[in-house]
Structures are given as C-alpha cells and as structure tokens.
Amino acid sequence: MRVFKIVLFSLALTTSLMSATNAHEAGDMIVRAGLTTVAPDEASSNVTVQSVGNVGMGTSVNSNTQLGLNVVYMFSSNLGLELLAASPFTHDITLNNTLDNELGLGDGKLAESKQLPPTLSLLYYFPITEVIQPYLGVGLNYTVFFDEQFVDNREAQSFNNLSLDESFGIAAQIGMDYKLDQHWLINASLRYIDIDTEANFDVLDLPAQVSVDIDPWVYSIMIGYTF
C-alpha cells in the first residue's frame, strides 16, 4: 500500500510539473502528421441513363488511409484555427444491385478516383489538465476529385468519360492532444465531413449520372510538435 501511494504521488507530481509548462498558449503553432482514414458512410441514388431512366444500379465507395497533415494556430489557450491536408486518397467505386438492372451489367468494381479534402476548422479546447486537452471543432470542407477512370473491363462494357463534381460542406470533429512535453504531443481525432458529389459518365454511348452522399467518418492518429 505504501509503495502504491508513493507511485500515485510521483505520477501526480510529474503531471503537475509538466502542466506548468505544457498548456497551449496564444501564438502557438502546432504541426501534426500521421495516419488518416477516410471511411465513407455513403448512400447513392440509382444510376439514371438518358432515354432509359432509372436502371436499378447503385454505387458504393471504399475506405482509404493516407498521410494526414494539419496545422493549428492558437489564438488563446482555448481557441485555435486548424487547416487539414493530406496526401491524395484513392477510392474504389463499386457497382451494386445490378442483378435485375435493365442494362444487364454485373456487380463489382466500376472505377476509381482520387480526392483531396482540405478542411478549415475552428477548434475550442476544454483542458482536463494542461497535459490532456480535448477539443471540439467545426469548419468548412472543400473536396476535389481527380484522376477518375473506369477499370478496363468496364470500358469494354462501354463506360466512358467519368467525371465527379467538387463538393463544399460542413465538417465537425472531436479530438484530444496529449502533451508529452513542452513541444511534443500525441493527437487523436474523429471527424464527420459532409461530402456530396454527382458522377457524370457515358454508358453504351448514352449520358448517365448518379448522385452520391459520401459523408465520411475521418479517423486520425498523429504526432505533433508545438512551435
């Protein structure tokens, strides 16, 4: 019991000494890097083909993990502005519910696309201690899609000319900084981003489109440094 009390006292003393110098302060610049996963929670309309109408096909989008980066500027010990960036995410687009569709096309991978989702957020910190600092954030997202292309077997089925519209939406997040010392920290966060797009393409030489509410959950674990 005595040893246990000594350990608790030592941990409390260490935390208090760290807390004296570890709190975020006005003017701090925090740079973080680590793994970020975009996990779509998508719902799509059925594919509509000109002169045919609804052909009974939907789409889904898979998850992808890339290098995530963000920078936070602290206006005060509680309020910060964050810019989220990342290396390009690559997503597979799959064709679903095609067994009874009017075009006779099978389920499976349809295409792939890359996207970048830069997001600007206002963060508000609720420090539990000056070492453990959870926060909430809300902001604006802009997502651009590029390098959209159908896979070879879909091009053989006369799928061509794929393009995905850019998206603007609201983003919300919850996260926490765990301060290791005056400069280094570990960060974990969970975001929800409103991403909607319309895919336009040709199939059997007819214009077609499908709307997709991607609306991903975005998970990040990062190492950060405070300047």
Contacts of 20 (CB under 8 A, 6+ apart): 130
Here the tokens at position 178 are 């765990």
What pTM did the predictor assign?
0.81
The pLDDT of residue 27 is 94
Locate all alpha helices (DSSP H) within the chain, ordered by sequence: 2-22, 152-155
How many Cβ atoms from other residues are within 10 Å of residue 110's Cβ? 26
129 vs 67, more confident = 67
Residue-wise pLDDT tens digits, 4-18: 344 334 434 444 444
Domains and CATH numbers, the chain: 2-226 (2.40.160.20)
Residue-wise pLDDT tens digits, 116-135: 999 999 999 998 888 999 99
Percent residues over pLDDT 70 in the chain: 81
Residue-wise pLDDT tens digits, 86-107: 999 999 988 876 545 555 566 7
Dist CA 68 CA 122 (whole Å)? 18
Could you tell me the CA-to-CA distances from 121 to 72, 81, 83 in Å, in that order?
9, 6, 7
- Quick check: 36 pLDDT over 50? yes
Let me know: does 64 contact 35? Beta carbons within 8 Å.
no
- Quick check: 34 pLDDT over 80? yes
Give kind and range of the element (H or E) at residue 34: strand 29-39
